[in-house]
């Protein structure tokens, strides 16, 4: 791409990880595991009665997690700024840091790696926990829904761990993790490398990556960008890679002419 990349400073982004953010992450992790354990305890008797329905829900949740990881990743990469209150430092900052320092996340501990995913999963965990399962005629559907949601949020929680592993050297990983990557049961390094080619506008799904190619062929994220830009006028990836570079790849009919009339901004 010809547009000059203008990105945030990695050191400054790393400094945005404050004690307040870490405290929220610790509380989120504790709350998340407590709620998931409660849901599993509640659903276990139903799973014994309908094991195949439970397995179907677990697998469907795995697929949902891959889509969810891609959608949230796309949102955080494409829109907003790390300087936004609350959400900027807690959610957007790690994604922007990752583009300028991809290996930095390999140094993060369990809390920093997984805390924000636990935070965004809490409302879903509460919904699963209090979902009624004894509605006459809908018990099976409601149990499948509860199982799917619980599976989805568990694998969403694991997504950053899978993502982190994809940035390690193979020799640094346990054999079981390398095996899972080799057979694409979790995100593999080769597959994820495609996302890390500027302008970072494809292959957002980072649980398994299974849905990246289908979504790309459907033009899903490009279509979403057109819709958001049409409704708000916002330019996708402007904050992440600078205005000139963002305009060059933005799904807009007049993007090339705009590059010529704007100077890079951040």
Q: Is residue 4 part of a domain?
A: no
Q: What's the chain's average pLDDT? A: 87
Measured CA to CA, the distance from residue 133 to residue 145 in angstroms comes to 10
Q: Is residue 157 part of a domain?
A: yes
Q: Is residue 73 part of a domain?
A: yes
Q: Is residue 232 part of a domain?
A: yes
Total number of domains in the chain = 1
Q: Is residue 147 part of a domain?
A: yes
Q: Is residue 160 part of a domain?
A: yes
3-state helix, strand and coil shares in percent for the chain, rounded to the nearest 5: 70, 0, 30
Confidence of residue 199 (pLDDT cuts 50, 70, 90): confident
> How many of the other CB atoms lie within 10 Å of CB of 60?
17
The model's pLDDT over 123-176, given as tens digits with 9 standing for 90+, comes to 999 999 999 998 888 989 999 999 999 999 999 999 999 999 999 999 999 999
Could you list the residue range(s) of the whole structural domain that residue 85 is in?
Answer: 10-261
The model's pLDDT over 206-252, given as tens digits with 9 standing for 90+, comes to 999 999 999 999 999 999 999 999 999 999 988 888 888 888 888 87
Measured CA to CA, the distance from residue 41 to residue 38 in angstroms comes to 5
pLDDT, position 16: 57
- With a cut of 60, say whether residue 259 has pLDDT above it: no
Q: Is residue 19 part of a domain?
A: yes
Question: Do residues 94 and 15 make contact, with C-beta atoms less than 8 angstroms apart?
Answer: no
- The stretches of 79-194 forming alpha helices (DSSP H) are 87, 93-100, 110-129, 139-165, 175-182, 189-193
pLDDT, position 248: 86
Q: Is residue 196 part of a domain?
A: yes
């Amino acid at each position: 791409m010809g547009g000059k990349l203008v990105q945030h400073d990695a050191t400054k982004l790393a400094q945005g990880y404050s004690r307040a953010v870490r405290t929220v992450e610790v509380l989120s992790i504790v709350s998340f595991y407590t709620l998931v354990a409660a849901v599993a305890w509640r659903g276990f008797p139903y799973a014994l009665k309908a094991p195949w329905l439970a397995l179907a829900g677990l697998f469907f949740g795995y697929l949902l997690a891959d889509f969810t990881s891609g959608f949230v990743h796309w949102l955080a990469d494409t829109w907003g700024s790390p300087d936004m209150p609350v959400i900027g430092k807690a959610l957007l900052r790690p994604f922007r840091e990752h583009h300028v320092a991809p290996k930095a996340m390999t140094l993060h501990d369990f809390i920093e790696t997984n805390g924000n995913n636990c935070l965004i999963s809490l409302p879903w965990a509460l919904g699963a926990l209090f979902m009624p399962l004894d509605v006459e005629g809908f018990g099976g559907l409601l149990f499948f829904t509860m199982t799917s949601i619980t599976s989805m949020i568990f694998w969403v929680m694991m997504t950053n761990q899978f993502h982190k592993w994809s940035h390690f050297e193979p020799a640094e990983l346990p054999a079981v993790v390398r095996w899972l990557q080799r057979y694409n049961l979790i995100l593999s390094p080769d597959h994820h490398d495609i996302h890390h080619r500027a302008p970072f506008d494809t292959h957002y799904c980072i649980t398994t990556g299974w849905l990246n190619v289908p979504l790309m062929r459907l033009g899903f994220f490009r279509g979403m960008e057109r819709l958001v830009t049409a409704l708000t006028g916002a330019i996708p990836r402007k904050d992440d890679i600078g205005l000139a570079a963002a305009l060059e790849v933005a799904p807009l009919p007049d993007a090339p002419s705009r590059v010529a009339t704007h100077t890079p901004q951040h």
